[in-house]
Amino acid sequence: MASVVVANAALGGAFERVFSLLYETIKDVINKTRMYESILQRLKDTLDLMRPLVKNMLLSNRERDLPEEPTKRLIERMEKGEKRVWKYSKLPWWKYLVRFHYANKLLELEKDLGRFFKVDLSAWNAMNTLESMKGVKDLSERLSLTRLNSVASCAVPRFREFVIGLDVPLKELKMQLLKVEVSMLVLTAPGGCGKTTLAKMLGDDKEIKGIFKENIFFVHVSKIPNLKVIIQKLLCKDDPDFQSDEDAIEQLEQMLRNEVNENKSILLILDDVWSGSESLLEKFAFGLPNYKILVTSRTAFPRFSFTYKLKPLNDDDAMKVFRHSAGLQDGSSSDGEMVKKIVKGCGGFPLALKVVGKSLCGKSAAIWLLRVKKLSDGCSILDTDIESELLECLQSSLDFKGHEMMLRECFMDLGSFPEDQKIPVGALIDMWSELYELVADGIHAIANLHEINTLNLASLVVTRQDASEVGSYYSEDFVLQHDLLRELAIHQSSQEPLEQRKRLIIDISGNNIPKWWMEQRQQPINAQLLSISTGEKFSSWCNILPAKVEVLVLNFQTKNYGLPEFLEKMDKLKVLIVTNYGFFRAELGNVQLLGSLPNLKRIRLQKVSIPSIFKIPLPLRNLEKISLFMCNIGQNFRNCSVEISNAWTNLMEINIDYCNDLLEIPTCLCYVVSLKKLSVTNCHKLFALPIEIRELASLEVLRLRSCTNLSELPESVTSLQNLRILDISNCLSISKLPKHIGELHNLNEIHMTGCLRLRSPLPPSTMNLEKLKLVICDEERGKLWEPIREYFHMFLSLHIDIRIAEKDINLNWLANRF
């Protein structure tokens, strides 16, 4: 067949050469002589008509690898004709008889060309029509075969595993997928939660099969997707002739469009799509009617509107899966606290339950007891070789590269906080600002948390949705991390030798202090981050030498808690986070040790009573930020010394939240001239601000959010010439703004949602706030601002953005009060 192709190509060149020679000869003769000009002109016109037709014949025959006998005969006639025309042009004028003879030969050539139109061209047209009809039939058969083969090669895989606890998720997933507005749905969860199993169940569901029939395609995408290979599977092509990814997509779209044109519905399931594949998913979104895509991924892909998050199994279903995998019969004596502890350690992850269950199946009671003891001693189910399958699955979620490596580090830092506890966003910002030098008012840290949330490595809970305040107010927000993912973070952090670890996370149950800590000699700690969690029975510290620690996280549950003596040796410490997870507030002792920390920049204390930190201020020359959450501070604040301004010369930010014994802000804080942010929120007994607040010449942010008993802002507030943000949201008792508020010439934002008693018209001086750009308020307060906005627009050509906060009906914020 290849020889035919070569011959056809050569024939095309021959025709073009002969045709051009004959055509030019005839045209030349017409120009030189007038005798028999009409015959020659007709020949020229015929050739003009023939040229494109013969080219199409040659091209068509070449594509179908057909022989070229008719064209060869035509070329032979044209060669003879050219010679006759050439000889005719050379005859002298007086050889009439000879000229007459050649004229007849030209007429024969004209008849031969006419025969081409009547016979050869007609035959070719008929054959071409038949071939086209056959091609359409073959194309239809190929598309049908492609569809059938694709269904076979991309059919929903059969699942044989024991499935429990997915019936309700299947109904919810199916309901969401079948909504008219949903064209692409992302099924997301951490690794090992059963996303692929649920997708298989969906593809095998009777209702789904009734809707989509044989047009359900299931393709495993993998971590490094190859678009051509994926489409090759869908089109069932052994040797695809794709010129590019775009060509592959076009061929797939054509196949799907043919199916849709036949009023068929299509479901494409793309399984195991990894982070960074948004552009790949968009290529499959053809916008066809009755065409839906289900994506399973560990990443939530916020770019796409519709997401279904698969949750871990509840306790009852987790127990059933584990018992089945462990080979336990109903009513077996193995039931009890021992099994419950093992199941709890699996955290409702189906993969963990199956792997751990199989590892214990048929084993002796001693093996079971050993496993329970390890879990009781704080050992993770990830710390044994038999769970390598589970560990490999979870570790693959942490394969970050390049600039994403920061996310891996941030994820592992989450292990610094106790299991089943809320992690304050403010604490993470303090940590990461120093460890990784993240700046810009916490926005970079917040962005990292959103990425970690998207990757299902933790859950970011934003308690208030009246935002437009990204990065500016995060006091009530927190992070939740699944216990198994926390164990993964700790496991990853502990792979290096003790003295080489970047972060050291110590969880002390009772007084079971690690053996290395009990040694007589001082233990050097080279980690940057040191986290120590202790329980209710913890009583005493051991001596260590954490000389290089920059961030210290202390978590405890006792009623009285003394800071460790080794704290005074931590001369590189920049961040101290002390959190009481007990029910009652605890007395914090050894506070005087903080005075020996020359580089301490950030202090965060939660649920403690502080007897002396303000009354006798410690000389913390580099302290930049102090955060007090649910602390008892009122008495100490009232008696604080004016010397605080001399002791904390670089203090720039104070955050006081849910400190219910705070009645008023002490005058001494008003002389900290370096202070830029003062946030007193959810302090419901606070009733007044001191007149001396005018002394805070550097203050840029004043946040008094949800201080429900605060009745007014003192007129002296208007002296804060550097103030950019004023937040009095949910200050229920404030009924008016300061008369001369217009003197805040640098004010950019006012937040006043929920100021229910503020109903009177705004002070006339408000019209002087020429730098005001944003007002966030409720609908009623928005009406008060309308005249101001009209004035700015008409007379100053300025624009104020008045945003009406959406009503946020949720109780997430209550979680921080207990």
Q: What is the pLDDT of residues 434-456, one digit of tens each?
A: 999 877 567 888 889 999 999 99
What pLDDT sits at residue 143?
Answer: 43
The mean predicted confidence, pLDDT, of the chain is 81
What whole-number distance in Å separates Cα of residue 201 and Cα of residue 161?
11
Q: Is 443 helix (H, G, I), strand (E, B) or coil?
A: helix
261: domain CATH number? 3.40.50.300
Structure tokens at 5: 């192709």
More confident residue, 253 or 46: 253
What pLDDT sits at residue 51?
Answer: 61
What whole-number distance in Å separates Cα of residue 495 and Cα of residue 507?
16
The answer to whether residue 678 is domain-embedded is no
Mean pLDDT, range 756-780, rounded to an integer: 93
Whether residue 380 is found in the same domain as residue 411: no
Domain boundary among 147, 182, 217: 147
The answer to whether residue 800 is domain-embedded is yes
* Cβ within 8 Å of residue 523, ≥6 positions away: 516, 517, 543, 544, 545
What pLDDT sits at residue 413?
Answer: 95
What pLDDT sits at residue 7?
Answer: 47
What's the distance, CA 473 to chain centroid?
A: 22
Whether residue 85 is found in the same domain as residue 51: yes
Best-predicted range by mean pLDDT among 104-113, 140-149, 303-312? 303-312
The answer to whether residue 542 is domain-embedded is no
Q: How confident is the model at residue 141 (pLDDT cuts 50, 70, 90)?
A: very low
Whether residue 412 is found in the same domain as residue 388: no
418: domain CATH number? 1.10.10
Q: Is the pLDDT of residue 786 over 90?
A: yes
Whether residue 234 is found in the same domain as residue 281: yes
Whether residue 182 is found in the same domain as residue 279: yes
Whether residue 173 is found in the same domain as residue 296: yes
Mean pLDDT, range 241-261, rounded to an integer: 84
Q: How confident is the model at residue 45 (pLDDT cuts 50, 70, 90)?
A: low
* Cβ within 8 Å of residue 255, ≥6 positions away: 143, 146, 147, 150, 234, 235
Q: Is the pLDDT of residue 322 over 70?
A: yes
Sign of dihedral through CA atoms 293, 299, 302, 308? positive
More confident residue, 67 or 586: 586
Cβ-contact 742, 772 below 8 angstroms? no
What whole-number distance in Å separates Cα of residue 177 and Cα of residue 269?
12
More confident residue, 636 or 397: 397
The answer to whether residue 431 is domain-embedded is yes
What pLDDT sits at residue 110?
Answer: 65
Tens of pLDDT, residue by residue over 512-570, are: 677 777 664 556 778 999 999 988 878 778 777 788 899 999 999 888 898 998 898 89
Whether residue 416 is found in the same domain as residue 431: yes
The answer to whether residue 778 is domain-embedded is yes
- Give this prediction's pTM: 0.75
Instruction: Tell me whether residue 163 is exposed, middle or buried, using C-beta atoms within 10 angstroms of its C-beta: 0 to 12, 13 to 18, 19 or more.
Output: middle
What whole-number distance in Å separates Cα of residue 570 and Cα of residue 717?
40
Q: How confident is the model at residue 121 (pLDDT cuts 50, 70, 90)?
A: low
Query: What is the percentage of the chain residues whose pLDDT exceeds 90?
Result: 36
Mean pLDDT, range 106-125, rounded to an integer: 62
Mean pLDDT, range 188-213, rounded to an integer: 91
355: domain CATH number? 1.10.8
Whole-angstrom distance between the N-terminal and C-terminal Cα of the chain? 84
What pLDDT sits at residue 809?
Answer: 52
Lowest mean pLDDT among 23-37, 392-406, 508-522, 533-547: 23-37
Tens of pLDDT, residue by residue over 160-194, are: 667 889 999 999 999 999 999 999 999 999 988 99
Lowest mean pLDDT among 207-221, 363-377, 584-598: 363-377
Give CA torsion, residues 316, 322, 328, 329, to 10 deg: 40
Whether residue 417 is found in the same domain as residue 360: no
Structure tokens at 145: 């075969």
What whole-number distance in Å separates Cα of residue 710 and Cα of residue 758?
12
Give CA torsion, residues 153, 158, 161, 165, to 10 deg: 110
Q: What does each C-alpha distance from 412 to 366, 502, 576, 718 come to in angstroms?
A: 34, 10, 18, 45
758: domain CATH number? 3.80.10.10
Tens of pLDDT, residue by residue over 340-349, are: 888 888 888 8
Tens of pLDDT, residue by residue over 475-512, are: 788 999 988 889 899 988 888 888 788 999 988 876 66
The answer to whether residue 157 is domain-embedded is no
Q: Which of 51, 71, 49 is nearest to 62 (CA)?
A: 71
Domain boundary among 102, 118, 147: 147
The answer to whether residue 645 is domain-embedded is no
User: Which range marks the domain in which residue 475 is found?
Assistant: 400-484
Whether residue 730 is found in the same domain as residue 799: yes
Main-chain phi, psi angles of 578, to 5 degrees = -120, 120
Structure tokens at 737: 């703004």
Best-predicted range by mean pLDDT among 201-215, 223-237, 246-260, 709-723? 709-723
Q: Please report where in the chains the tokens 């209550």 appear, as a residue.
A: 814
What pLDDT sits at residue 363?
Answer: 84
Whether residue 301 is found in the same domain as residue 333: no
Domain boundary among 285, 309, 333: 309
Q: Is the pLDDT of residue 706 over 90?
A: yes
The answer to whether residue 584 is domain-embedded is no
* Cβ within 8 Å of residue 176, ≥6 positions away: 182, 185, 306, 308
Whether residue 122 is found in the same domain as residue 178: no
Whether residue 319 is found in the same domain as residue 281: no
For the chain, the domain total comes to 5
